[in-house]
Amino acid sequence: MPARARPQRSSPVLPSDHGATSGEESTAQPLISIVLTGRNDGYGGDFIARFHRTLSFNHHHLAAWNIAHEILFVEWAPPTGAPYLFDLTRRAVDDIDWGVVSWFIVDPRYHAALSLNPRLEYLEFLAKNVAIRRARGRFVLTTNCDVYLGRHVLDVMCSPGLQSGIVYRAPRFDIKFAADYSGLDWDVLEDPRNLDGVPKPLKPPFMGGGTGDFVLMDRASFHEIRGFNEVYRAARFGIDHNVLVKALSIGLAIEDIGGPVYHINHAGSYRLTAGVYAGREAEAPWGNSRWHSRGVVYVNPDTWGLAKAPMREGVERCRHLDFSWDAVPPLVDLKRVVLPAARMGAPAPGRYVSR
Q: Where do the domains of the chain lie?
A: 32-354
Cα 67 to Cα 69: distance, rounded to the nearest angstrom: 6
pLDDT value at residue 234: 84
Total-model pTM: 0.85
pLDDT value at residue 347: 35
Neighbours of 80 (CB within 10 A): 6
pLDDT value at residue 230: 94
pLDDT value at residue 265: 83
State the CATH architecture for 32-354.
Answer: Alpha-Beta Complex (3.90)
How does pLDDT run along the chain (355 residues), one tens digit per residue? 333 343 344 333 343 343 333 334 556 899 999 999 999 998 766 899 999 999 999 999 999 999 999 999 999 999 999 999 999 999 999 999 999 999 999 999 999 999 988 888 899 999 999 999 999 999 999 999 999 999 999 999 998 889 999 999 999 999 987 756 667 889 999 999 999 988 889 999 999 988 999 999 999 999 999 999 999 898 888 899 999 999 999 999 999 999 999 998 865 555 555 566 667 666 676 666 666 677 788 999 999 999 999 999 998 899 999 999 999 988 777 667 776 544 433 333 333 333 2
pLDDT value at residue 296: 85
Question: In the chain, what is the greatest distance between 2 CA atoms, to the nearest angstrom?
Answer: 57
pLDDT value at residue 350: 39
Cα 29 to Cα 98: distance, rounded to the nearest angstrom: 16
pLDDT value at residue 120: 87
pLDDT value at residue 344: 36
pLDDT value at residue 26: 55
pLDDT value at residue 339: 63
